[in-house]
Amino acid sequence: MLRNAFNHFTDTGMTTFGLLIFAGFFLTLLVWVYLPVRKKFYKKMSQLPLESED
């Protein structure tokens, strides 16, 4: 099955589709991470290294 899948590597339609999935996933992640609702939480997380005294 895997071998069949790899036969599509030279198929530009399939590779473009793969690229779109990849870019779409990345952009969704970007938007999701930057949604303003979690601002307080990220602030708290970024303080973690400064909590230990040494």
Interface ranges with other proteins (CB under 8 A) = 2-3, 6, 9-10, 26, 29-30, 32-34, 38, 41-43, 45-54
CB of 17 to other proteins, least distance (A): 14
Integer-rounded Cα radius of gyration of the chain: 20
- Tokens at 37, concatenated: 């609702």
Residue with tokens 């030279």: 10
CB of 36 to other proteins, least distance (A): 10
CA distance 29 to 21: 12
Residue closer to other proteins, measured from CB, 13 or 43: 43
